[in-house]
Amino acid sequence: MSDWKDVDAELSLIDGENIVVDVDGVDVAVFRVNGGVYAIQDVCSHDGGEIASGVIEGEEIICPRHGARFCIKTGKVTGPPAYEDIPCYTVRIENGRIQVKLI
């Protein structure tokens, strides 16, 4: 099991933004949406490309290549052409720092 990975200061990530960090060799997109902080793998399950540069609409990220949609909070597919969910990771705020844990 993975340990918590310190990824950024809580205040550095503003609502509607994301950052991509390496957590134990996995590219993870960390988002702040509606005041919450969420983490999913930075990969579109449709074609294996990165997802973090896509447009954020509400609580969804839209793949920049083919328009597949995923829930930022859960990694679940919300629109084709993807049909498989993206892995979602646990996030916490500890001493003003965003931390992610791969489970």
* pLDDT tens digits for range 72-98: 999 999 999 999 999 999 999 999 999
Distance CA 28, CA 96 (A): 19
Nearest CA to 69 out of 85, 89, 88, 90 is that of 85
* Spatial separation of the C-alpha atoms in residues 70 and 63, rounded to whole Å: 8
Distance CA 67, CA 55 (A): 9
Determine the pLDDT at residue 1: 46
Question: Which residues of the chain register pLDDT less than 70?
Answer: 1-2
Instruction: Name the amino acid, one letter, at 82.
Output: A
CATH number of the domain where residue 78 is located: 2.102.10.10
In the chain, the number of structural domains is: 1
Note the pTM of the prediction, 2 decimals.
0.92
